[in-house]
Structure 1
Amino acid sequence: MDFLMLLADIIKIQKDDPVAFTFFTGYMAMFAASIFFFFERSRVSDKWKTSLLVSGLITGIAAVHYYYMRDYYAITGENPTALRYIDWTLTVPLMCVEFYLLTKAAGAKLSLLWKLIAASAFMLVTGYIGEAFTDGTMFHSVLWGTISTLGYVYILYTAWAGEVKQLADKSGDPAVIKGVRYLAWFVLVGWAIYPIGYMCMPGGPFNVWFGWESSNVDLLYNIADAINKIGFGLVVYSMAVQNTDGLKGAKA
């Protein structure tokens, strides 16, 4: 009986709780996107299969974590910080891998991949310190948020003007050039949602100055995850289909 009552609490979504709604929706959306990317691998040419595999892994890993984060939030009503950062530690570097895979044909070296992974790891570790070990003061929040931003700025620069952008232009492939530009926009606009959520935590600037509730952290993070992880994959998918269809047309 106790188990059934607990289960009812886990799956119950209050109509006035948008955070719980986005946890459940995010889980289903990520799961559906993962199945889609895995199945669509058979439709694209061989050189795009790994990229779609990575897209499926990103959303698949996120779906598993959202399944547990959804239940954690339903039971405790608290931010599942540790679970979320475990998810990001696996999925954000994989998103950086997409940049490497797209520009590999143009001469991208493994050093580019490791630099992007290192920057993403630095961004996440310092962000986790700022969020998980907050003392409720704005100094702590701003200090670690600023340090974390350095990793983000490096990835942003690489995508917009640095090595990734230069390699995409060098490839001469319109699909790659367009795809890298779209992914760069995701890094600029989509990833910018995360700092807004970060600043809503206790001691964060938005929490202190405007009184934004800490529940906004989860709401913004959930929305950002769905936009960025599924969106990243859809950009890669559209490029793969466009390139594959172009090759078929040329052969015909």
Structure 2
Amino acid sequence: MTNLLLFFEGPSKLDPTDYVGFTFFVGCMAMMAASVFFFLSLNQFNKKWRTSVLVSGLITFIAAVHYFYMRDYWFANVESPTFFRYVDWILTVPLMCVEFYLILKVAGAKTGLMWRLIVLSVIMLITGYFGEAVFPGQAALWGAISGVAYFVIVYDIWLGSAKKLAVAAGGDILKTHKILCWFVLVGWAIYPLGYMLGTEGWYTNILGTGSVDVVYNIADAINKIGFGLVIYALAVKKNEVV
């Protein structure tokens, strides 16, 4: 019971100038609220779309729990909770990739597409963690590998097999797929930028260094909640058709 109260109340004191701590707190509550919304709306959908909305709720719920721990880590240590952030991403980003497969099943998407996107996202995140936390002296190398995996995902959903399936489905599926693609191209782009700002490499002379926790926190909330709302809107439209 005490832990539950701490979850909602947060630390006893919050410095009004601590913008990083504030965004951790707001991000935690926003994603928990989104989870409640997605979970409570499940019964209004048929089985065909319920799974997509459920996954959206799982993404924001997992993120909310991790933000709870990241928030406390920040208040205790005043340093970026890199480990917890990557644990969050390694669970939620593959689930976001699963959403592409779920909405494209109507066009004949095979599980191979889902597993390819999942594997690429895991490679992207593991190599990113290696460069940021395990082998910082080789950050540029690990970041390059991570970037390649990211751009393969971008290619697959914008021009590759996922795009072809979306075009074949047409209508609301194609529109939703395109919006999700923009989330990946623009919304996810903040993460490699943050990686470069937080590590040393050839890019340091161009970008400099600095803390990007505030930007990460805002981007996480927008990407995860926004991703889920796009899926929810599609499910509502398709449910009305049925």
When Rg is computed on C-alpha atoms for both structures, the one with the higher figure is 1
Matching residue of 1:148: 146
Gaps of 5+ in 1: 1-7, 248-252
1:200-215 matches, cutoff 5 A: 200-203=197-200, 208-213=205-210, 215=211
CA contact (8 A) 2:94 2:122 kept: yes
Matching residue of 2:108: 107
Matching residue of 1:241: 236
- Identity of matched residues, %: 55
Query: AA paired with 2:62?
Result: I
What is the Cα deviation at residue 202 of structure 1? 4.1
Instruction: Tell me the secondary structure at the aligned position of residue 200 of structure 1.
Output: helix
Instruction: Tell me the secondary structure at the aligned position of residue 197 of structure 2.
Output: coil
Matching residue of 1:121: 122
CA distance in 2, matches of 1:209, 1:181: 32
Matched, 1:189 2:190: no
Query: AA paired with 1:152?
Result: Y
CA distance in 2, matches of 1:30, 1:54: 13
CA contact (8 A) 2:55 2:99 kept: yes
What is the Cα deviation at residue 25 of structure 1? 0.6
1:1-252 matches, cutoff 5 A: 10-135=11-136, 140-172=138-170, 174-203=171-200, 208-213=205-210, 215-216=211-212, 218-247=213-242
Q: Deviations over 1:44-76 (max 9, x none)?
A: 232110000000000000000000000000100
Q: Deviations over 1:205-240 (max 9, x none)?
A: 665545442x22x12211111111101100000111
CA distance in 2, matches of 1:245, 1:9: 40
Normalising by structure 2, we get a TM-score of 0.91
CA distance in 2, matches of 1:206, 1:77: 26
CA distance in 1, matches of 2:24, 2:74: 8
User: Could you say if the C-alpha distance between residues 71 and 245 of structure 1 is closer, same or farther in structure 2, counting changes exceeding 3 Å?
Assistant: same
What is the Cα deviation at residue 180 of structure 1? 0.4
Which is worse superposed, 108-117 or 200-209? 200-209
What is the Cα deviation at residue 141 of structure 1? 2.4
Matching residue of 2:6: none
CA distance in 2, matches of 1:63, 1:115: 27
Normalising by structure 1, we get a TM-score of 0.88
CA distance in 2, matches of 1:26, 1:204: 30
For the aligned residues, what is the CA RMSD? 1.8
What is the Cα deviation at residue 37 of structure 1? 0.5
CA contact (8 A) 2:197 2:207 kept: no
What is the Cα deviation at residue 246 of structure 1? 2.6
CA contact (8 A) 1:41 1:52 kept: yes
CA distance in 1, matches of 2:24, 2:175: 32
CA distance in 2, matches of 1:181, 1:61: 25
Instruction: Tell me the secondary structure at the aligned position of residue 203 of structure 1.
Output: coil
Gaps of 5+ in 2: 1-8
Matching residue of 2:5: none
